[in-house]
A and B are shown apart, each in its own frame.
Chain A
Amino acid sequence: MSQLLPYLGVALLLLVVSGLWARQIFLKGKSRIELLLPRKHRGTGGNTASHGDLGERIFSLEDWYFVSRYVPSEIQTMFLRERAALAISWLRRTRSRVSLVMRSHVAAVRQTENFRLGPELKLALSYLFFLVLCDLLIGWIWLRGPVRTRKMVGQTLRTVAWLRGAFEQLMARVDPATCNALRTSFDHRAVRD
């Protein structure tokens, strides 16, 4: 019976990749990067800062000091629970942005004639590693709470800002028209997967 395992393994592999591809085709409309044009235009300057301000405001220790000193324990628990949810949401947002960069990359590479297998494999592994780390970190925040992760939140804010810059740079190179649309959409936080 053990001699069957390689054949059944290959058959299972075919079944799994076919299923994933079918799912991708089925969800194509939903998974396509959707650009929503802004209803009203705001200045593009200072948006990174506004993201940072928002994050710092949400995850600020001042809030925690206030809550821990002046409000009852039920409110403290509620505060921590809500902040944990926000931290997780923030990480998921970061992950979705990196996924967007990666998807743009594979779309670009598909058309590239001077394709390099080695770097591409490294990139795919890095991306996979990033996703796994992201999920681990989400679990870590869920277990330990948002207050103990405040340094990480600071890093997150900076990284999101940097990611946005890198993404725009990449997109500007890949497709300037889409980049302009994306920049506007990012400014209004209307980029959806």
Chain B
Amino acid sequence: MFGQILWWMEIAAEAFILLRSINARLYGKYLSFFIYLTAVLLIDLLRFSVLTLHPNVYAPVYWYTEFLHAGIGYAVILEIYKQTLNNSPGVVRIAQTFLWGVLGAVILKVMSNAVSRPLWSTATMSVELERDMRTVQALLLAGIIALLAYYVVPTGRNLRGIIFGYSAYIYSSVVSLAFGSLPGHGLRPGWRLVQPIAYLAALLIWSYALWSYSPNPAAGTESKIDRDYKFIAGQTRRTLARARSFLKLGGEL
């Protein structure tokens, strides 16, 4: 019953955020994110109608749509990367390298799993696949947040809300799916409620953060910045080397 209440609340919250986004003209500004939210709402409505009308086929529909749900979550990551790196061409380079590295690692992992596993079971594989997909999303999110923190990239309320909400959901998903994939843990009702509760929390964060348009602050002073990277890097490197050599000298005294 509690699960049903959570489900209705999620559908209501998704519909509310989408209606508000259209009303506040946010939909086009964060297109990938709202496409994700629309898809999730449609998936929820489909599941609800299947559970009501054809409960015997609910289980396979649930697993296939869960895979779709996890897959379309990459739209949120895409939106975050797009919004974050819009005004930071320097950070784009490092982000691209990171993305390609993670993508390569995932492809290798999936290939090695496919080769080593002789038998396929829909439910087990779906849980494991979703767990792996969410883990990759967690890695990508951690990477972009680390870049945001390191380069002190200015962010607006909308983007912060999207990142914090989705991070909370992904964190809970990875932990719950990891424990849920253990034998004997998957069927425990407590673990099955973690993801819906975290998702509802994310929806509440998004409801607040996406109430009105709040773009990323423009970097006003940086317009004067000289773009000679070699000079900047060389200066800073020399400063650090000098300071370090001094410290080494002090340590030897």
Contact = CB atoms under 8 A, between A and B. Distances in A.
Contact of B90 (A7, A112, A155): A112
Among B91, B142, B164, chain A packs the most CB atoms within 10 A around the CB of B142
A110 B247 contact: no
Contacts of A98: 239-240, 243
B142 A127 contact: no
A8 B176 CA distance: 10
Interface residues of B, number: 66
A11 B172 CA distance: 8
A115 B171 contact: no
Contact of B151 (A110, A114, A149): A110
A137 interface: yes
Interface in B124-149: 131, 135, 138-139, 141-142, 145-146, 148-149
A128 to B, nearest CB: 10
A166 B139 CA distance: 37
Interface stretch (B20-28, B30-38, B206-214, B217-225): B217-225
A85 B94 CA distance: 41
B183 to A, nearest CB: 11
B244 interface: yes
Given A117-B94, A123-B237, A166 B242 contact: yes
B145 A18 contact: yes
Given A98-B239, A175-B221, A11 B175 contact: yes
A115 B89 contact: yes
B178 A4 contact: yes
A74 interface: no
Which 10 pairs, one residue from A and one from B, show the smallest C-beta to C-beta distance? Answer: A152-B250, A7-B178, A115-B90, A105-B236, A133-B247, A115-B93, A112-B90, A126-B240, A11-B174, A112-B229
12 contacts: A15-B171, A103-B152, A109-B232, A110-B219, A112-B89, A115-B93, A116-B229, A119-B237, A123-B240, A156-B246, A166-B238, A166-B242
Given A127-B240, A140-B250, 11 more contacts: A13-B139, A98-B239, A110-B88, A112-B229, A123-B240, A133-B248, A134-B247, A155-B246, A159-B246, A163-B242, A169-B235
Interface of A: 1, 4, 6-8, 10-11, 13-15, 17-18, 20-22, 24-25, 94, 98, 101-103, 105-117, 119-120, 122-124, 126-127, 129-130, 133-134, 136-137, 140, 148-149, 151-152, 155-156, 158-159, 162-163, 166-167, 169-170, 173-178
Interface of B: 87-94, 97, 131, 135, 138-139, 141-142, 145-146, 148-153, 155, 160, 163-164, 167, 170-171, 174-175, 177-179, 182, 219, 221-222, 224-233, 235-244, 246-251, 253
